[in-house]
Amino acid sequence: MRTFDYARADTPEAAVAGFAQTGTRFIAGGTNLLDLMKLQIETPTRLVDISRLPLADIEEREDGGLTIGALVPNSDLAADKRVIAKYEMLSRALLAGASGQLRNKATTGGNLLQRTRCNYFYDTAAPCNKRAPGTGCAAIGGFNRIMAVLGTSDHCIASHPSDMAVAMRALDATLVTLRAEGGQRRIPIAEFHLPPGDTPHIETVLQPGELITHIELPPPPAGRQIYRKVRDRASYAFALVSVAGAVSVEDGRIASATLAFGGLGVMPWRDPAVERALIGQAPGSPAFEAAADALLAPAKGHGSNDFKIPLARRTLISCLRHLTGTSL
């Protein structure tokens, strides 16, 4: 690990002020950043420790939503009674991720910013446009079983690894930030992550020194909720495909639907065409197949990850059956 200067921030204002020099990074739980620093994939010259900032509370808002401090640990968020009662998909997404120890450290803000688990991104001997811009992409034409099938470019096909962010995407979360030059910014999660295009090293719209302070959830969506994760092991593995969603049915028709996907996309994935294919339809195979068609029409396999396309179809349809109480 390269050495660095270290400073602990006591207030959000002090944290962003501490960002004056380039090469500075915030450290929260450290479970992703330190992992990458040990491999010298990340080489910050200065760490601003934000882990003691007073941003670890969950508060109810008047509109029925929740405001979640960026430093709330993943385990506390998953176990919060209000989250369990109103945002079950978020609890379930968190509980499906990592391990008990890691969730105790991992924070809400850090989880949204965790980097890909692409094997070549981790292998510093391999070409990788995300880690070393301009060197190429070893995953294209390589072993790409865990890579994305949606939103990829000729420069990067890495999938976004977070479970929590998928639920946040389905729940239409908004990130609240404090900018380095002062002043708040509100970023809808739909606009937060960026597709790779020809700059796969730029992953979000966050600017250097911009601190996520809170995540706001609007009132919960109508209907039953789900988070289903399909992976190589029953526990403690990243998603190959995951679905976060809520669907409500009124008078025999799907009245509302929100669905987001993990493991498939270069970022937490949501496509309005999927929801359009469902709303107003009677729950059942024709509507469910149409939703899967809409999701997967733009999907592109890269060889060893081709299996994700049929797997996503089956997983989505199974989730829709559960959400609408429809049998085969």
Partner 1 sequence: MRFTINGRSYELDPDIRTSLLDLLREHLDLTGSKKGCDHGQCGACTILVNGRRINSCLTLAVMHQDDDITTIEGIGTPENPHPMQQAFVRHDGYQCGYCTPGQICSAVGMLDEVAKGWPSHVTADLGAVELDEAEISERMSGNLCRCSAYPGIVDAIGDVAGAKP
Ligand X SMILES: Cc1cc2nc3c(=O)[nH]c(=O)nc-3n(C[C@H](O)[C@H](O)[C@H](O)COP(=O)(O)OP(=O)(O)OC[C@H]3O[C@@H](n4cnc5c(N)ncnc54)[C@H](O)[C@@H]3O)c2cc1C
- List interacting residues with ligand SF4 (CB under 6 A): 116, 118, 120-121, 128-131, 137-139, 147, 156-158, 200
User: Would you count residue 172 as binding ligand X (CB under 6 A)?
Assistant: no
Q: Distance between CA atoms of 81 and 59, rounded to whole angstroms?
A: 12
Q: Pairing mode, if any, of strands 224-230 and 58-60?
A: unpaired
Q: Which of 18, 109, 151, 283 binds ligand X (CB under 6 A)?
A: 109
Q: Distance between CA atoms of 260 and 246, rounded to whole angstroms?
A: 10
Least distance to partner 1, CB of residue 164, Å:
13
Least distance to partner 1, CB of residue 196, Å:
25
Instruction: Compute the half-sphere exposure of residue 85: CA atoms within 13 Å on the CB side of its CA.
Output: 8
Whichever of 129 and 177 has its CB closer to ligand X, that residue is 177
Question: What is the greatest pairwise CA distance in the chain?
Answer: 63
Least distance to ligand X, CB of residue 119, Å:
14
* Residue 25 binding: pick among ligand X, partner 1, ligand SF4, none (C-beta 5-8 Å cut-off by kind): ligand X
- Residues forming a β-bridge with 243: 228, 261
* Residue 85 binding: pick among ligand X, partner 1, ligand SF4, none (C-beta 5-8 Å cut-off by kind): partner 1
Least distance to ligand SF4, CB of residue 133, Å:
9
Whichever of 50 and 173 has its CB closer to ligand X, that residue is 50
Task: Kindly identify the residues of this chain, within the stretch 37-76, that bind ligand X according to CB under 6 A.
Answer: 50, 70
Q: Distance between CA atoms of 196 and 132, rounded to whole angstroms?
A: 14
Least distance to ligand X, CB of residue 269, Å:
14
Whichever of 37 and 41 has its CB closer to ligand SF4, that residue is 41
Whichever of 28 and 157 has its CB closer to ligand SF4, that residue is 157
Tell me the helix, strand and coil percentages in the chain, rounded to 5.
30, 20, 50
Least distance to ligand X, CB of residue 278, Å:
26
Residue 192: CB atoms within 10 Å: 23
Q: What is the phi/psi pair of residue 176, to 5°?
A: -110, 130
User: Would you count residue 32 as binding ligand X (CB under 6 A)?
Assistant: yes
CB-based contact 216:67 (threshold 8 Å): yes
Helices 285-296 & 308-324 angle (0-180, nearest 10): 140
Would you state the structure tokens that stand for residue 137, as one six-digit string?
């992409």
Scan for tokens 């979000």, then name that residue. Answer: 204
CB-based contact 324:283 (threshold 8 Å): yes
* Residue 8 binding: pick among ligand X, ligand SF4, partner 1, none (C-beta 5-8 Å cut-off by kind): partner 1
Q: Which residues bind ligand X (CB under 6 A)?
A: 25-33, 35, 50, 70, 97-98, 102, 105-107, 109-111, 113-114, 161-164, 211-212, 238
